[in-house]
A and B are shown apart, each in its own frame.
Chain A
Amino acid sequence: MMALLEVYGLNKRFRGLHAVKDVSFTLQTGSITGVLGPNGAGKTTMFNLLTGFVPFDTGTVNFDGQSLARLPPHKIVNRGLARTFQLARPFVGMTVLENVEVACLAPRVRGEGKAGMRAQALLDQVGLGEKSRHFVDVLSYGDLRRLEIARALATRPKLLLLDEPFAGLGAGEIQPLADLIRALHRSEGLTILIIEHKLREFMQLVQEVIAMDFGEVVAIGTPAVIVRNPRVVEAYIGKVEFDAPGLATTGDDVGTA
């Protein structure tokens, strides 16, 4: 069976900085994969390359059998590849409902019924149903993350890219969000790719990890294998977030969700 996403030899230079270097990996349909790496490793840049926000220099990106090269972001979304942003970027001045309605108006899903109703249903799904009439300006960080996810879901993606969904969340908000992601993975049959720093939730969520450093893919494997990879450990020396108890000791397959 063909992989949903196939990336070969992806490269991007910014004026001498080789931000993404020969990155290659594949994602199988229905999988939930993580991207791990310290700051500056090129993770978000890679997301930007995959989603068309930044053009890549060389490489191929095949999504569902079709190349994504040189497509603008909105066209990629309409092919079924959606993303969230690291820093939540809601449509200010509009209500929560309207924020999701916008995505419901994307050509891919425009005919699927009244935007307002679909939007409300999506908000219910992510747990924001009661806040639909509120203006986005008053939402908490955790709620903004859910809003981003609802917006991305509105476009009926086959592949969902989540950029640091747990960043900036308080201890109480992380687990519910992880549960939500897990639930969506099961119920929608989504393929998910997550960038994250917060290892505990991350490692329990994903089936496979792509470890990056200095723009390159350093290792790919299950979470248990990755945390023992010397290069990965080396990249994280000194990082406070590297705290994944129960994974670095015994047992090969600690399993994910």
Chain B
Amino acid sequence: MGIHKVDRLAVLLASAALATAPLLFGSTYTIGVLTVALCFGMWAASWDFMSGLTGRENFGHSLFIGAGAYTAGFLNVEFGLSPWWSLPAAPVCAVLFSLVLGLPTLRLKGPYFALAMLSGAAVMQNLTIIFSSYTGGQDGLNGIDPILDSPLAYYYLVLIFLVATTIILKVIANSMWGTLLRAIRGDEASCQASGINVNFYKIASLMISAAFAGLGGALYAHYQLQVGPDLFAVVLSINIIIMVYVGGLGSIYGPVGGAILLSVLTESLRAFSEYRLWVYTLVLIFILFFMPQGLIAPLWRRIRSYVA
């Protein structure tokens, strides 16, 4: 099925907008903020791909992010490999984690699955602190090499990955895979009765979600140049979920928009840093009660119906 012409145009325009943004705002600081926003975009899109489509909300997405980021850290700092190696290695590592946690939790329903994934991420966070001799404990790994020296060039690299991620995930979501994942959300027993191997699609979508999240994690690591146990924190997972809801569950591109929007917004509210979680929670409550479809996806659909 691919992507419709109007959507292709939108992708082009959005990419162009994101590409010109740093040129307009110039400073290294804003480029940094935007780079982080793009990473959140990858994390949000990858979360939406699985949880948005199948309805199995993963409250431990940070597990994959941290896995990817620490992989980047290890390969570069401990083993001295070139930072480019992180890009294939991080997704692989994240996928392994998704198998370890995903297989035993296949049969868990909604809230239990969410809680199990959350616990998995929390366990990993604790382990990272415990084995501090390997992981640097609370201080984490420092001195990671950047992939590219110019912040602007790196921004464009991350942007390319984000756009590619969004397109790939959207194409899969529009294909037969998307129909099957949404059917799993509809009713698992009926899926089985229709001859579909539900477990396979559940685990496969989790693996795909993990791979892109891990990749985002590595890209983040090579921006931040350090990784710490906070990358496994529950708070990160929840922030991402909020971004997805703002963007519009199940649309893939909506969450990207939501992520960028909220990232930039909270950064500009820096002065109120203690209240950040407060702000996020309020936003989530607001969206859940008044705009359960999100902000961005419905807006785009409205625009689209006038244009197409």
CA gap between A85 and B149 in the complex, in Å: 61
Which residues of chain A have C-beta atoms less than 8 A from B179's C-beta? 94, 98, 101-102, 105, 115
Is A89's CB under 8 angstroms from B190's CB?
yes
- Known: A51-B193, A77-B192, A105-B180. Is A89-B187 also a contact (CB below 8 A)? yes
Cβ contact within 8 Å between B187 and A72: no
Name the CB-closest residue of A to B178: A98
The one of A72, A74, A85, A94 in contact with B183, judged by C-beta atoms closer than 8 angstroms, is A94
The answer to whether the Cβ of A106 comes within 8 Å of any Cβ in the partner chain is yes
Does any Cβ of B come within 8 Å of A5's Cβ? no
- Digitize A7-29: 1 where CB-to-B-CB distance is under 8 Å, 0 elsewhere: 00000000000000000000000
Contact A105 B176 (CB under 8 A): yes
A53 touches B191 (CB 8 A): no
Assembled-state Cα–Cα distance A15/B174 (Å): 45
Question: CB distance B193 to A91 under 8 Å?
Answer: no
> By the criterion CB–CB under 8 Å, are B186 and A103 in contact?
no
Decide: A73 and B182 in contact? CB cutoff 8 A.
Answer: no
Please tell me which one of the listed residues A75, A92, A94, A151 contacts residue B194 in the complex, with CB atoms under 8 A apart: A151
Is A152 part of the contact surface with B, judged by Cβ < 8 Å? Answer: yes
| A94 pairs with B186, CB closer than 8 A | yes
Most buried by B among A92, A109, A115: A92
Residues of A within 8 A of B180 (CB): 102, 105
Size range of the chain B interface in the assembly: 10 to 19
CB atoms of A152 and B192 under 8 A apart: no
Among B183, B186, B194, the residue within 8 A (CB) of A77 is B194
Q: Does B189 contact A (CB under 8 A)?
A: yes
Interface size class of A (residues with CB under 8 A): 20 to 34
Min CB distance A193 to B, Å, is: 15
- The answer to whether A155 and B194 have CB atoms under 8 Å apart is yes
A145 CB within 8 Å of chain B: no
Given A105-B176, A115-B176, are A74 and B196 neighbors across the interface (CB < 8 Å)? yes
Which residues on A sit within 8 Å (CB–CB) of B185? 91, 93
For the complex, what is the distance from the CA of A89 to the CA of B188, rounded to whole Å? 9
Q: Are A90 and B190 in contact (CB under 8 A)?
A: yes
Q: Decide yes or no whether B203 CB sits under 8 A from chain A.
A: no
Residues of A within 8 A of B197 (CB): 72, 74-75, 107
Known: A74-B197, A74-B198, A115-B176. A102 touches B183 (CB 8 A): yes
Residue B195 is within 8 A (CB to CB) of chain A in the complex: yes
Q: Are A85 and B189 neighbours in the complex by a CB distance under 8 Å?
A: yes
Q: A53 vs B193: C-alpha distance in the bound complex, in angstroms?
A: 9
Q: Which residue of A lies closest to B184 (CB)?
A: A91
Quick one: CB contact mask for A93-130 with B, threshold 8 Å, 1 for yes? 11000110111011111000001000000000000000
Nearest chain A CB to B108's CB is how many angstroms away? 17
- Give the chain B neighbours of A103 by CB distance below 8 A: 194-196
Docked Cα-Cα span, A219 to B185, in Å, equals 41
Q: Mark contacts of B159-180 with chain A using CB atoms, 8 A cut-off: 1 yes-contact digit, 0 otherwise.
A: 0000000000000000010011
A158 within 8 A of B: no
| Residue from A78, A84, A102 within 8 A of B191 (CB atoms) | A102
Contacts A53-B192, A115-B176 known; 17 new A-B pairs at CB < 8 A: A51-B193, A73-B189, A74-B192, A74-B198, A75-B197, A77-B193, A85-B193, A89-B187, A90-B190, A91-B182, A91-B185, A92-B186, A105-B194, A105-B196, A107-B195, A115-B179, A154-B194
Contacts from B to A (Cβ < 8 Å): 176, 179-180, 182-183, 185-187, 189-198
What are 21 A-to-B residue pairs whose CB atoms are below 8 Å?
Answer: A53-B189, A72-B192, A73-B189, A74-B194, A74-B195, A74-B198, A83-B193, A85-B189, A91-B183, A91-B185, A92-B187, A93-B186, A94-B179, A102-B196, A103-B194, A103-B196, A106-B196, A107-B195, A108-B195, A115-B176, A155-B195
